[in-house]
Structure 1
Amino acid sequence: MTDFTEQDLSGSGFQRVDLSGSTFRQADMTDLDMREVNLSGTRVRAAYFDGVRMTGVEIPDMEISGEVVRLVVNGVDVVPYVEAELNRRMPERAQMSPTDVAGFWSAFGTMDTLWGETMRLARSLTPDQLHEQVEGEWSFIETLRHLGFAHACWVGGVVLAQKSPWHPLDLPWDEAPVHEDVPWARRARPELHEVLALRRERRATVAEVLDGITDAGLGRRVTSATPFLTDATDLTVADCLRVVLNEEFQHRLYAERDLVKLGASV
């Protein structure tokens, strides 16, 4: 296997070559021109697609999960239909885009209720199972740790402008850059009660923010004070709180799916 680490291959041409099974990590693949290629079985994770155009393609089976703003299929933007169907299936999802303080209180209250149901499933499994990954995704404990990171970033680091809102149990996304002053313990195996204690602290911080803000205050412009989210510009307090809500909502769905696969009692 050839290793192309730290090399500039921009502008290269690949014709009648076999790249099957190749791995791309932190690669700049903007403006690729791909024709007559076989992408069957491809797995793409944590990628950014903007301005991508695919024509003359055959898609017998394709699955997309992520933040999709505009997706045109054969001339039809399917996103509004997908959004409406998701909200029909999960009425609570429509609550995750509040615009006033009362709406945020209600949305976070809904999340507390939903996570309570998920915790019931989690407690029907063994401690080792809560650290078990399903199909390469985060374990249940890792998911809770990542949500701690999301709270630290968006509430602590942006809304409250704290330069170091981190806890060692916070877990950033897999591709996050390493910073010496951030005390993460990626390989830690905390017990459920430890991560739940941290979640209670982070939830209390959200409550403090909502207690001390007005509807007008939700529109206050904020800027990231952390080494992460450096591109988080022109955001409001409401934008940041909505990010946290939607992280919580989506990751709970993933977590509940995986708990059931691990044998949790439904």
Structure 2
Amino acid sequence: MADFIGDELRGSRFERVDLSGAEFRASDLSGARFRGVGMSGVVMRGVELVNVDIHGEITNVTINGVDIGPLINAELDRRHPGRVKMRPTTPAGFRDAWDIVERLWEGTVQRAHRLDPALLHESVDGEWSFVETLRHLVFATDAWVRRAVLGDPAPWDPLDLPWDEMPDTPGIPRDRKVRPSLDTVLELRRDRMSTVREVLDGLTDESLDGHTQPIEVPGWPPPSRSYPVRECLLCILNEEWEHRLYAERDLAALEARNP
């Protein structure tokens, strides 16, 4: 353990650092940026939380005695009526949810096509570009559907893009410098989305309640484990839903920047 008392650490960068159990007292975190960090079990007392922007999984978060998780979910459901459909419980519900995903993404892609193709490789506020977002969704499908559900130990395409904080894993590509065209990535996306459609079309109550077969080859999700099929498919719906909202947000910024 190390103590930093009265030290000037302004502008410091902490990456892949274990700060679990750390204690911050009379510290200034103004302007700090957190990305891909685990904050489960964090306790804050006497904090000033003003002009803060948080995006993430909010569960069992109590502020001034109020659990804000249900409030946030209710408001998001109100803003996005299709969001509640992303929590299906039956095979038919999963198919309906995928119908919504396909329809919404079609509109988002049409919006992207109206921009200068070069802008689709631009990052907004440090987030993935539009093309990188699509590449990440290819990776998510390869991981949770083609590998976990369908049992392909190494389903990766060279354009697959894992999330930034994922440790480098043998066999999984991560090329942040390549700049494929939108059409190239969309062709790959159509292939992966059709795979999800085939899986959902064949889904039954029995298979939905089943578990995947363990895979011993290194990759993602981690090997030597079995996963509930239901959770794998819910993961894909969540990835598709959330990343489309991020993409829409960033496309709006690009449009404003380049009318």
What TM-score do the two structures reach when normalised by structure 1? Answer: 0.91
Amino acid at match of 1:53: V
For 2:5 and 2:90, locate their aligned partners in 1 and report how far apart those are by CA, in whole Å: 55
For 2:130 and 2:11, locate their aligned partners in 1 and report how far apart those are by CA, in whole Å: 28
Secondary structure class of the residue paired with 1:186 = coil
How far 1:182 sits from its partner (Å)?
A: 2.7
For 1:231 and 1:67, locate their aligned partners in 2 and report how far apart those are by CA, in whole Å: 25
Q: Does 1:236 align with 2:228?
A: yes
How far 1:184 sits from its partner (Å)?
A: 4.1
Decide which of 250, 260, 264 is 2:252's aligned counterpart.
Answer: 260
The unaligned stretches of length 5 or more in structure 1 are 1-10
For 2:187 and 2:171, locate their aligned partners in 1 and report how far apart those are by CA, in whole Å: 23
Secondary structure class of the residue paired with 1:222 = coil
Structure 2 equivalent of residue 3 of structure 1: none
Q: Does 1:175 align with 2:159?
A: no
CA contact (8 A) 1:167 1:184 kept: no
CA contact (8 A) 1:218 1:237 kept: yes
Matches within 5 A, 1:95-114: 95-114=85-104
How far 1:234 sits from its partner (Å)?
A: 6.2
How far 1:219 sits from its partner (Å)?
A: 1.1
For 2:214 and 2:119, locate their aligned partners in 1 and report how far apart those are by CA, in whole Å: 36
Seen in structure 2, the aligned counterparts of structure 1 residues 66 and 167 have a Cα distance that, compared at 3 Å, is same
How far 1:224 sits from its partner (Å)?
A: 5.8
Residues 146-171 of structure 1 show CA distances to partners (whole Å, capped at 9, x for unaligned) of: 01111111111211121101001111
CA contact (8 A) 2:112 2:120 kept: yes
Amino acid at match of 2:251: L
Seen in structure 2, the aligned counterparts of structure 1 residues 232 and 131 have a Cα distance that, compared at 3 Å, is farther
Structure 2 equivalent of residue 88 of structure 1: 78
How far 1:183 sits from its partner (Å)?
A: 3.9
Structure 2 equivalent of residue 141 of structure 1: 131
Matches within 5 A, 1:17-96: 17-96=7-86
For 1:234 and 1:82, locate their aligned partners in 2 and report how far apart those are by CA, in whole Å: 32
Identity of aligned residues (%): 46
How many residues are matched?
Answer: 256
What TM-score do the two structures reach when normalised by structure 2? Answer: 0.93
Decide which of 213, 218, 225 is 2:203's aligned counterpart.
Answer: 213
Decide which of 136, 142, 150 is 2:140's aligned counterpart.
Answer: 150
CA contact (8 A) 1:148 1:170 kept: yes
Structure 2 equivalent of residue 189 of structure 1: 179
For 2:210 and 2:63, locate their aligned partners in 1 and report how far apart those are by CA, in whole Å: 37
Structure 1 consecutive aligned stretches of length 4 or more whose deviation exceeds 4 Å: 231-234
For 2:198 and 2:89, locate their aligned partners in 1 and report how far apart those are by CA, in whole Å: 18
Amino acid at match of 1:133: S
Secondary structure class of the residue paired with 1:157 = helix
Residues 30-62 of structure 1 show CA distances to partners (whole Å, capped at 9, x for unaligned) of: 000110000000100001111111111121222
Residues 63-85 of structure 1 show CA distances to partners (whole Å, capped at 9, x for unaligned) of: 21111221001111110011001
Seen in structure 2, the aligned counterparts of structure 1 residues 56 and 28 have a Cα distance that, compared at 3 Å, is same
Structure 2 equivalent of residue 7 of structure 1: none
For 2:120 and 2:206, locate their aligned partners in 1 and report how far apart those are by CA, in whole Å: 41
CA contact (8 A) 1:224 1:230 kept: no
Secondary structure class of the residue paired with 1:262 = helix
Higher helix share: 2
Decide which of 241, 248, 251 is 2:240's aligned counterpart.
Answer: 248
